[in-house]
A and B are shown apart, each in its own frame.
Chain A
Amino acid sequence: MTPATILGIGAAIIVSIALYGVVTASSLLRRIVALNLLGGGIFLLFGVIARRGAAAGFESDPVPQALVITGIVVAFAGTALAVALVVRLEQARNESPDADGERLDGADAP
């Protein structure tokens, strides 16, 4: 059992747990956290494939590593945008009740 295989199995388990978290999250922010957990697991799977591709004097195939680095930065940018949207949504929800005079979260209008 090489380190790559053990970490690969671990990554698969993390992916399934994080997927459950994404689907059944109790709030938007928790959903975003679960999405980031999912991303970490998937990148770990890439890393397993990179490690197995060790050849030509490198300990790990550089091309999947480059893909993962790009992926981490893009995932961060996406998370930042999603988080800004969620914060703005909560601000709008808590400030303006909708047309029936009720707030979107069910509390009574002031």
Chain B
Amino acid sequence: MIAGAVFDIALVALLVALAAWSVSTRSGFTAIVGFIGYGVLLVVAWMRLRAPDVALTEGTIAAGLGGVLLLTAQARVGESAARTSAGAPRQDGGPSTIARIGIAILCAFVGASLIAVVLSLPEPAPSLAPLTAEALPRVGLGNPVNAVLLGARALDTLLEKVVVFLAVIGVWSLSRDHAWGSSPSIGPRTTSRVGGAAGGIAPAPAGPIAMLARIVPPFGIVVAGYLLWNGANEPGGAFASAAMLAAMALLVLMAGLGRIPRCSQGSWRATIVAGPLLFMAVALLGLPLAGAFLAFPEAWSKPIIVVIEIALVISVASALVLLIAGPPTTEPSP
């Protein structure tokens, strides 16, 4: 008991210190690094709360892919600022000291009220676990979190896929007019071409990242399939699997071994949309077959969920890669 409490207090102290450092450090790059460290420590915190699925999602999507997103953004902002020797920080220096003290007092008040709430939570705690346990056999999955995500609260998951898709549309719409329809680029600059400037052969990608991008993706894809398949009865599931696939794709892109297909290509667009569309079709089919939107006939429940998950993983992985790569552009990117 004491060892557990000491560990928890140390973990919380580290998390708070990382958050404070990330908020107060001078350089934007250091703040993002602090955020990534915070995200990885949160994985430990989630395991301490006995939530392995959330730990997986937090580690891969929030800390991993989120960190990559913020770092590429920092590089792009820094690059466009460096081109004109202008800086990104605000010119007025932020709020005055008196205002900062006031804001700090108010934030401390918010924190204190939350602590009061945490210490006065009702005992015994209300819980939806018994209801979930009853519903598990009907859904056909052994992992309760995935059963809730794809069975009991499948509407939330459907809407969330649509939100991710809308974010992709939003990011695409930020491209310049003349670049609409071309492909986003996130690889290294191919400024050195063998055989002349007007289109020779680009040298084959070399170096450590290219080696990693050639060796790891096959294993990564196998691990992603394993996470997806295992998510039925053990921690895992569609989101962790999609994040893994997206990470492998990003590795290949960043090493320069491949490019994202052009955004105007029909087959590429179909891949991105296929997941949510399939989910919608299954949901609407539930109306005549099982009496309600998003209801699955009980005997078919598990196969339907597996099919939905596979389609979703492919679509969500593509969407995640596109969200990080940014709007379509015709210029080389940092």
Contacts and interface: CB of A to CB of B under 8 A. Distances in A.
B132 A14 contact: no
B174 A84 contact: yes
Which of A11, A43, A106 has the most chain B CB within a 10 Å cutoff?
A11
Nearest to B7: A3
Contacts of B128: 53, 61-63
B88 A90 contact: yes
B61 A72 contact: yes
Interface stretch (B71-79, B256-264, B277-285, B289-297): B71-79
Interface in A4-54: 4-21, 23-30, 32-34, 36-37, 39-41, 43-45, 47-54
Nearest to A60: B50
Contacts, number: 296
Interface in B41-90: 42, 45-46, 48-51, 53-54, 57-58, 61-62, 65-66, 69-70, 73-74, 76-77, 80-81, 83-90
B275 interface: no
A69 B96 CA distance: 38
B200 interface: no
B interface: dominant SS: helix
Nearest to A29: B28
B23 to A, nearest CB: 3
Nearest to A26: B89
Contact of A36 (B15, B66, B174): B66
Given A17-B19, A53-B125, A77-B323, A24 B12 contact: no
Contacts of A57: 129, 133
Contact of B8 (A6, A13, A14): A6
A99 interface: no
B127 interface: yes
A76 B42 CA distance: 16
B149 interface: yes
B223 interface: no
Contacts of A77: 163-164, 166-167, 323
A16 to B, nearest CB: 3
A107 to B, nearest CB: 5
B145 A83 contact: no
A87 B324 CA distance: 12
Contacts of B35: 33, 36-37
Interface of B: 4-5, 8-9, 11-13, 15-16, 19-20, 22-24, 28, 31-32, 35, 38-39, 42, 45-46, 48-51, 53-54, 57-58, 61-62, 65-66, 69-70, 73-74, 76-77, 80-81, 83-91, 94-95, 100, 103-104, 107-108, 110-112, 114-115, 117-119, 121, 125-130, 132-133, 144-145, 147-149, 152-153, 156-157, 160, 163-164, 166-167, 170-171, 174, 239, 320, 323-324, 326-327
Given A12-B118, A36-B35, 9 more contacts: A5-B118, A6-B8, A12-B114, A17-B23, A24-B94, A30-B31, A47-B54, A72-B62, A76-B66
Top 8 nearest A-B pairs (CB, nearest first) are A16-B111, A10-B12, A53-B127, A21-B23, A12-B114, A8-B118, A80-B323, A77-B167
20 contacts: A12-B112, A17-B23, A17-B111, A27-B88, A27-B89, A37-B22, A53-B127, A58-B132, A61-B129, A62-B129, A63-B129, A63-B153, A65-B148, A69-B53, A72-B57, A72-B61, A73-B160, A77-B166, A87-B77, A95-B84
